[in-house]
Structure 1
Amino acid sequence: MGTVLGGRKNAGGTAAVLGGGVAGLTAAMELAERGYEVTVVEPTGWGGKARSSSVPGTGTAGRLDLPAEHGFRFFPGFYRSLPDTMRRIPFGRQPDGVHGNLREVPQMLSARSGRVNERVTDVSSLSGPRTPLQILRARGLDPGTGQELSEELLYFANRMMVYMTSSQERRLGQWEGTSWWDFTSAAGASEEYRKVCVVGATRTVVAARAEVSSTHTVGSFMEAFAYGFLGRGASAAADRVLNAPTSTAWIDPWVDHLGARGVRLELGWRVERLSVRGGRVVAASLRGPDGRRSDLTADWFVCALPVDRVGALLDRGLAAADPALAGVASLNTDWMVGMQFYLTEPTAITCGHVIYLDSPWALTSVSQAQFWDVDFRATYGDGTVADCLSVDISAWDTPGILYGKPARECTRTEVAAEVWAQLCDALDDGRTPLLHRGLLHSWHLDPAVKGLDGPGPAHNDEPLMINTKDSWKLRPQAATAAANLFMAGDYVRCPVNLATMEAANQSARAAVNALLAAAGDPANPAVVHALYEPEELRRLKEVDAELYRQGRAHILDTPAPWAERSAVTASAPR
């Protein structure tokens, strides 16, 4: 490979992008559009955790291998930066590019053990905006089902209003350091309240524990979802998926588009070290798949590596570039791992995503064939597979219902059997089960999880960054102390305070903008879309900012009724 970059420079100079996930590909696209000569290096696969793959050897008679993925992808309505990128990636004759491959998801099922109290929520755009009460009922809290639940419904509404009317100063100064568990007063509340509003909201969406997750993070994404359901701030559907495997519908066309724009794409190369001199990065040392070494030189560097790989690079030049980046090593990661069950009959459990609220492993799923624009049986596998039930496993440390062991201590076969058992527990009412063994053709567990079959301990090559309380201060900004180094990734500070594809995209745009500023480049900056903020709440936020400066509580912040009762009971004479 030799020296990757050098020779003729485009008007903007040369740029090296380290990492080919969503952040790296976004940065490459924005820079190429502004005249930079770009090289992207990626060790594993284009698209990072967002990519899809396949199960080798499963396709016969001209059919494709069965599709697989790190975890299913979904595109909430509050995503704005990522859809903008997707519209600019050509796809056939579609006027809106790969964005035209998105399909609305009209339903969400909250599945319960034995199908008791399960709830299907209409999230389609055709139904129009929802009321706040409808949103709360969709969370499983209904004032018509009992006094205790009604009290909890009102208190959860209070929690949402407190966060939604909190100033940015309070969000960063108070709620960033408060766990979602404490903010929602989970201690002393009913098990149902904790399961639906407190624990379920974190484990099934961002693989985080409510006891340690930042209210700043959980509150912000629940706020964004709520505005989407209310029909505020976005014209897009509240929930969308792709009409084919992610790489087919999005990543592969993206890579092709970048190549057509002159971006040099080098797959199989891992960054091992950064060389820093005079406050600038002068080269990145790489190792190729065959063990070859090479130096990558450029005028500008965008580090778009995942958070765990950034941590490993700190003592190999990254901390020398900017000592403040050492905080990345203290960020927490957890597992949110994908598993696919291949079924012999179409099995659309619901027309959308399923959240298994009673699942100890915090499962979520989507039946994919119903959204794909192909005949699944004729396109994939051996001709007998009609559907792919894609499942995310978010809690790997909780004992299961079949073996009594956490997922980390199971073999791969035991993980498959346990997940299937937890799915069946929710979807079998004792009369007509939605899932049964006769449907199951085969299964596939993300190969990024290693060591389940020994030698242990189990580990995950692609963990997800978790926003624990007080972690904001550890997260880097796009610009660094090194004059030509910029950071991009879902752990970098940006408007979407959650490890998502949207955050990866936004951070890359911020990195490009910082690069343009450092270069004195007059090119138009990339748009980093802010989250929606209703004008009606602006004055309340201004009042709260003043209260926070005075050291006073939020005007709506009150203790939970059950906390007050507990205090009275504790102080009563005995």
Structure 2
Amino acid sequence: MAGLTAAMELAERGFEVTVVEPAGWGGKARSAWVPGTGKGGRFDLPSEHGFRFFPGFYRSLPDTLRRIPVEGSAEGVAGNLREATLMLSARSGRVGERVTDVSAAAGARTPMEFLRAVGLEAGGRGLTSEELLYFANRMLVYMTSSDERRLGQWEATSWWDFAAADGASQEYIKACVVGATRTVVAARAEVCSAHTVGGFLEAFSYGFLGRGEELQPADRVLNGPTSSAWIDPWVRHLDSLGVRLELGWGVERLTLSGRRVTGAEVCGPRGRRRELEADWYVCALPVHRVGLLLERGLAEADAELKSVTGLHTDWMVGMQFYLTQPVPVTHGHVLFLDSPWALTSISQAQFWDCDFPATYGDGTVADCLSVDISSWDTPGILYGKPARECSRAQIAAEVWAQLCDGLNGAGHIRLHEGLLHSWELDSAVRNLDGPGPAVNDEPLLINTTGSWAARPRAVTAAANLFMAGDYVRSPVNLATMEGANQAARLAVNALLEAAGGTGAPAHVHALHQPGELRRLKEVDAELFEQGRAHLMDGPPPWAVSARV
């Protein structure tokens, strides 16, 4: 994501660009295909590292999509986006499930409607009135916190502590604390920073409430497999701009002279090695691959980059269930709030501009239920083991059981074994069937408390080296496609400045900040400077009750 974005921005400004990529264009966003499943002239069944999700607060990435031409579309690849209009909060046995209209057509919404949208409501199986009000207080405290407090206090505070989980009810913990992290960023609430979780919920809520500089649907998805609908057109466009795209090659070592990079040693097919020389270098390696390069030149270029090795990654892995009948569970995403593996899903065929059985597989597959598995360390409901300790077949059975637990009940069966044609688990996860411990070749950055300080800036101490990736500091403080896109734009802008201002800088879109809250943030900045608490920050009602 970051590498292709940087290549496009630089090529448009007249630079001669070479991109080397060892595995596949698009990184974690790319599609894969289940080998040998296509029959009768059909394509192989598509699979994904995880389903794509374009929330309303994404602005930089949609700008890139609009500039990738697609035949017959005035909006470029952005014309391949489709609005997901509903969100289902699934509950075990369907007791207390909620379907929420998140469409743009529904118009402006109230904060209460936002709380209901994420499955929160007082009464019944839901939260008590005081719990609901306290969670609203947590959101208000974060939304009115100054930038100084966000970095100086909430960055060092876990979401668990910020949301006051200790002593709270299991329903509050499940809906407001754990659910807010594991279904979004695959992180444990005990270690993920309130700066990150609060920021994501803030950005998503403004989109849902219809607030922002650009009014966009709160939830959009692609109209086909990611590579077909987006990455392949992108690569063709880069080729048309003169970008040299070298697949199968990876950077092994940097050569330096003083504070300048003079070459990059790359390794390609059959172990071939050569050195690439350029005026400027953009390091767009994923965070878990940077460590080896630090030992081979990168740390010599900028010693502060060693802090990157302290960043934490975890697993958020995609799995696809291929079904013999269309099963549009809801017209959008499903959050399984009672799932121990923190599952989310979407029924894809309803959004794809094709006849699914005529296009993919052997003609008997009519739908693809795409699932993200976000918690790999929690025991499941079938085998009592975390996903990391299960075989691939056990994971498939366990995920299917958790899906059925959330979607079946109340006299209605959405899923049953007769629908299941086959399944596919992301091939980036290896060794589940042995030998040795399971490995994930494409983990996700997790913003643990205090991690902002360890994340690099786009500019480095080396005069001609710049960093891009979803772990580089950007306005979106979360490992996302938007964050990677923004980091690449920041790298390009730093490069342009170093090169003498060649071309206009790339626009890096800021997150929406409502003017109505500006004065409250100014007051909070004064309070923080004085070492005082946020004006509205107080103990939860259950902590007060415990002291009585």
Query: Under a length normalisation based on structure 2, what TM-score does the superposition of the two structures give?
Result: 0.99
Say whether residues 1:511 and 2:491 are aligned partners: yes
1:524 aligns with 504
1:266 aligns with 246
Q: 1:241 to 1:148 in 2, by over 3 A?
A: closer
Match of 1:85 among 55, 58, 64: 64
Matches within 5 A, 1:479-494: 479-494=459-474
Matches within 5 A, 1:101-120: 101-120=80-99
Distance between the aligned counterparts of 1:410 and 1:86, measured in 2? 38
Q: 1:491 to 1:232 in 2, by over 3 A?
A: same
**Counterpart code for 1:87:** R
2:268 aligns with 288
Give the conservation status (yes or no) of the 8 Å contact 1:242–1:249.
yes
Q: Give the C-alpha shift of residue 148 in structure 1.
A: 6.4
SS at 1:103 equivalent: strand
Q: 1:148 to 1:391 in 2, by over 3 A?
A: closer
Distance between the aligned counterparts of 1:29 and 1:71, measured in 2? 24
SS at 1:290 equivalent: helix
1:327 aligns with 307
Distance between the aligned counterparts of 2:130 and 2:411, measured in 1? 35
1:5 aligns with none
**Counterpart code for 1:325:** L
Q: Give the C-alpha shift of residue 225 in structure 1.
A: 0.7
Q: 1:40 to 1:363 in 2, by over 3 A?
A: same
**Counterpart code for 1:97:** G
Q: Which runs of 5+ in 1 are unaligned?
A: 1-21, 569-574
1:7 aligns with none
Match of 2:193 among 203, 214, 230: 214
Matches within 5 A, 1:145-156: 145=124, 149-156=128-135
Matches within 5 A, 1:401-480: 401-429=381-409, 431-480=411-460
SS at 2:55 equivalent: coil
1:125 aligns with 104
Which deviates the most, 558-567 or 183-192? 558-567
Distance between the aligned counterparts of 1:142 and 1:266, measured in 2? 52
Q: Give the C-alpha shift of residue 521 in structure 1.
A: 2.3
Distance between the aligned counterparts of 1:459 and 1:519, measured in 2? 41
Match of 2:368 among 362, 383, 388: 388
Distance between the aligned counterparts of 2:404 and 2:266, measured in 1? 47
Distance between the aligned counterparts of 2:381 and 2:122, measured in 1? 31
2:11 aligns with 32
Match of 2:181 among 202, 210, 220: 202
Q: Give the C-alpha shift of residue 278 in structure 1.
A: 1.2
Distance between the aligned counterparts of 2:243 and 2:331, measured in 1? 39
SS at 1:40 equivalent: strand
Distance between the aligned counterparts of 2:541 and 2:327, measured in 1? 44
Say whether residues 1:97 and 2:97 are aligned partners: no
Distance between the aligned counterparts of 1:563 and 1:484, measured in 2? 54
**Counterpart code for 1:79:** Y
Task: Please give the per-residue CA displacement for 1:170-207, whole angstroms capped at 9, x wherever unaligned.
Answer: 00000000000000101111111110111001001110
SS at 2:333 equivalent: strand
2:257 aligns with 277
Say whether residues 1:42 and 2:21 are aligned partners: yes
Match of 1:314 among 283, 290, 294: 294
Q: Give the C-alpha shift of residue 531 in structure 1.
A: 0.1
1:139 aligns with 118
**Counterpart code for 2:359:** T
2:527 aligns with 547
Match of 2:142 among 163, 166, 185: 163
1:371 aligns with 351
Provide the aligned length of Structure 1 versus Structure 2. 547
Give the conservation status (yes or no) of the 8 Å contact 1:141–1:150.
no
Distance between the aligned counterparts of 1:460 and 1:47, measured in 2? 17
Give the conservation status (yes or no) of the 8 Å contact 2:181–2:189.
yes
**Counterpart code for 1:57:** G
Q: Give the C-alpha shift of residue 372 in structure 1.
A: 0.2
Q: Which runs of 5+ in 2 are unaligned?
A: none
Q: Give the C-alpha shift of residue 96 in structure 1.
A: 0.9
SS at 2:17 equivalent: strand
Distance between the aligned counterparts of 1:452 and 1:506, measured in 2? 35
**Counterpart code for 1:378:** A
Give the conservation status (yes or no) of the 8 Å contact 2:126–2:171.
no
Q: Give the C-alpha shift of residue 270 in structure 1.
A: 1.4
Q: Give the C-alpha shift of residue 146 in structure 1.
A: 8.9
**Counterpart code for 1:208:** A
Say whether residues 1:350 and 2:330 are aligned partners: yes
Distance between the aligned counterparts of 2:275 and 2:384, measured in 1? 50
Distance between the aligned counterparts of 2:319 and 2:120, measured in 1? 30
**Counterpart code for 2:310:** S
SS at 2:290 equivalent: helix
SS at 2:358 equivalent: helix
Task: Please give the per-residue CA displacement for 1:352-411, whole angstroms capped at 9, x wherever unaligned.
Answer: 000111111110000000000000010000000000000000100111100111110111
Which deviates the most, 175-184 or 422-431? 422-431
**Counterpart code for 2:84:** V
Distance between the aligned counterparts of 1:510 and 1:484, measured in 2? 14
The two structures, once aligned, show a CA RMSD in angstroms of 1.0
- Among all aligned residue pairs of Structure 1 and Structure 2, give the percentage whose two residues are the same amino acid: 73
Distance between the aligned counterparts of 2:118 and 2:224, measured in 1? 29
**Counterpart code for 2:54:** F
Q: Give the C-alpha shift of residue 338 in structure 1.
A: 0.4
SS at 1:59 equivalent: coil
Distance between the aligned counterparts of 2:95 and 2:123, measured in 1? 17
Q: 1:309 to 1:146 in 2, by over 3 A?
A: closer
Task: Please give the per-residue CA displacement for 1:275-319, whole angstroms capped at 9, x wherever unaligned.
Answer: 111101111111112111111110000000100001221111111
SS at 1:283 equivalent: strand
Say whether residues 1:557 and 2:540 are aligned partners: no
Distance between the aligned counterparts of 1:533 and 1:139, measured in 2? 21
SS at 1:284 equivalent: strand
Task: Please give the per-residue CA displacement for 1:446-494, whole angstroms capped at 9, x wherever unaligned.
Answer: 0000010111200100000000010000000000000000000000000
Query: Under a length normalisation based on structure 1, what TM-score does the superposition of the two structures give?
Result: 0.94
Task: Please give the per-residue CA displacement for 1:102-148, whole angstroms capped at 9, x wherever unaligned.
Answer: 00000010101101000111100010011001111223332354996
Match of 1:174 among 143, 153, 156: 153
